[in-house]
Amino acid sequence: MNVLILGSGGREHALAWKLAQSPMLDTLFAAPGNPGIARHATIAALDVTDHRAVIDFCRREHIKLVVIGPEAPLVEGLADNIRAIGVPVFGPGRAAAQLEGSKGFTKDLCARVGIPTARYFRVTSKDGALATLDDFGEKCVIKADGLAAGKGVTVAQTRAEAEAAIAALFAAGPAEAVIEEMLEGPEASLFVLSDGTVTAAFGSAQDHKRVGDGDTGPNTGGMGAYSPAAVLTPELEERALGEIVRPTIDALAEAGTPYVGVLYAGLMLTADGPKLIEYNVRFGDPECQVLMMRLKDDLLVLLNAAIDGQLAHASVRWLDEAALSVVMAANGYPGTPEKGSVIRGIEEAAQGGAEIFHAGTAVNAGALVANGGRVLAVTATGASVADAQKKAYDAVDRIDWPQGFCRRDIGWRAVEREQHGR
């Protein structure tokens, strides 16, 4: 079967790498893709925001499955428009994608269904936002309502930080936001496949959002991740599925907007049990990279099971290994990244068994160059998180890119737990 992947980042490279291994695959297309994805797929010159062009391509190339990687096309209803011509899509329609498209929508659904999450207020004005702060004490979390590429969140440790975040949020004019209490505990990401009715757990991970070692500096789209998340024990995972994920899927089905795709639940493991931080309606990045490295089963089979309503008959099996991904970013990120610098040593870096997933890369005059903020995701597996960490950083150190940087402590909490037998 012919498959089209939409997207151009490290997540899409990992999906292309895994899909390319399926014996069911005939031709894999990708749009807009990147030089790494081009190793596994035929790059199509498509503007993903032009729904008509995507639909025409699907018809012309006899596409039997579209996999939408990023969140923006899902929130804009691309999946609905492709399904309207009879082409199957892995990814939720516009209505269900509001789980990520609107923080307020998700919080209201949680309140309506009784899903454990942080106490919150929805606000639409600066004065209204400031007025809510007295309800949260010194610390609170401020979230822009719409899509923000993983960076629209301020974890305010003081009243002054909260006021500054609110001022910045409303500085450009009207806006919407959610202000909520700060939850305490370790974070974990839980992934679930859904066919609209049945769910299948699809692994766990922990990521590192802050740009600097020791979880310092501003938030980013993610500087690294590892899987599985040991803190999400089987017992806690089952609680999260039963108390958070399945009620969400059921509520969307009852509303006539069934959720078909992958659902990514960001969880806080509090003293009272798992609570929802937020939902994403796509694979995480770089969480997708570590999940694909560990997945034993044919990804194409699983995606088709979700689309065909057959998840009840599918199994998801994992390598009995840990995977860890280190993001290499261009100098200046998460501000204005420096573009155009030459990257060398990719092939040498991969010789130790690591996979080098491309995110923000391009080819210029035959040379691989940086073309974004997060540029590479260097990913390795090992018998433990510590082992995977060593292999990933060994590969990082073989890459010749002076204008790039990375955190040097990805997975540090898991490594400490392993060392202390926890």
User: Is the same domain home to 192 and 173?
Assistant: no
pLDDT in tens, the chain (422 residues): 999 999 999 999 999 999 999 999 999 999 999 999 999 999 999 999 999 999 999 999 999 999 999 999 999 999 999 999 999 999 999 999 999 999 899 999 999 999 999 999 999 999 999 999 989 988 999 988 877 655 578 889 999 999 999 999 888 888 888 999 999 999 999 999 999 999 999 999 999 999 999 999 988 999 999 999 999 999 999 999 999 999 999 999 999 999 999 999 999 999 999 999 999 999 999 999 999 999 999 999 999 999 999 999 999 999 999 999 999 999 999 999 999 999 999 999 999 899 999 999 999 999 999 999 999 999 999 999 999 999 999 999 999 999 999 999 999 999 999 998 76
Among 53, 71, 91, residue at a domain's last position? 91
352 is a domain residue = yes
User: Is the same domain home to 235 and 307?
Assistant: yes
CA angle 284, 328, 76 (to 5 degrees): 35
CATH code for the domain in which residue 141 is found: 3.30.1490.20
101 is a domain residue = no
User: Is the same domain home to 275 and 196?
Assistant: yes
User: Is the same domain home to 59 and 128?
Assistant: no
pLDDT of residue 9: 96
Tell me the one-letter amino acid at 403. Answer: Q
pLDDT of residue 322: 98
User: Is the same domain home to 198 and 288?
Assistant: yes
Among 42, 76, 91, residue at a domain's last position? 91
329 is a domain residue = yes
10 Å CB burial of residue 402 (0-12, 13-18, 19+) is: exposed
Tell me the backbone φ, ψ of residue 306, rounded to 5 degrees.
-65, -40
106 is a domain residue = no
78 is a domain residue = yes
pTM of the model: 0.94
CA quadruple 302, 304, 306, 308: dihedral sign: negative
User: Is the same domain home to 173 and 196?
Assistant: no
Tell me the one-letter amino acid at 129. Answer: A
User: Residue 348: how many CB atoms within 10 A of its CB?
Assistant: 12
Among 41, 73, 91, residue at a domain's last position? 91
CATH code for the domain in which residue 57 is found: 3.40.50.20
pLDDT of residue 148: 60
Report the C-alpha gap between 75 and 78 in whole angstroms: 8
Task: Count structural domains, the chain.
Answer: 4
112 is a domain residue = no
CATH code for the domain in which residue 290 is found: 3.30.470.20
Greatest distance between any 2 Cα atoms in the chain: 59
CATH code for the domain in which residue 339 is found: 3.90.600.10
pLDDT of residue 401: 98
pLDDT of residue 147: 73
pLDDT of residue 422: 63
pLDDT of residue 138: 85
Element (H, E) at 72: helix 71-75
pLDDT of residue 226: 98
User: Is the same domain home to 282 and 328?
Assistant: no
User: Is the same domain home to 200 and 151?
Assistant: no
User: Is the same domain home to 192 and 168?
Assistant: no
Q: How many CA atoms lie within 13 A of 136 on its CB side?
A: 27
10 Å CB burial of residue 134 (0-12, 13-18, 19+) is: exposed
User: Is the same domain home to 208 and 287?
Assistant: yes
User: Is the same domain home to 235 and 141?
Assistant: no
User: Is the same domain home to 298 and 217?
Assistant: yes
Q: Minimal CA–CA distance to 376: which of 14, 7, 10?
A: 10
Q: Which is it for strands 63-68 and 89-90: parallel, antiparallel or unpaired? A: parallel
Distant-in-sequence, close-in-space partners of 213: CB < 8 Å, separation ≥ 6: 407, 408, 409
Task: Say if CB 195 and CB 302 are below 8 A apart.
Answer: no
Tokens of 108: 């209201």
Q: Minimal CA–CA distance to 6: which of 35, 33, 34, 45?
A: 33
111 is a domain residue = no
Instruction: Tell me how far CA of residue 114 lies from CA of 107, 110, 252, 384, 417, in angstroms.
Output: 10, 6, 14, 37, 33
Instruction: Tell me how far CA of residue 93 lies from CA of 15, 75, 83, 281, in angstroms.
Output: 20, 7, 9, 10
For 210, the 3-state DSSP assignment is: strand
Report the C-alpha gap between 281 and 75 in whole angstroms: 9
Domain residue limits at 155 = 120-180
108 is a domain residue = no
Q: Minimal CA–CA distance to 418: which of 214, 203, 270, 231?
A: 231
Report the C-alpha gap between 224 and 100 in whole angstroms: 21
Ramachandran category for residue 211: left, alpha or beta (phi over 0 → left; psi -120 to 50 → alpha): alpha
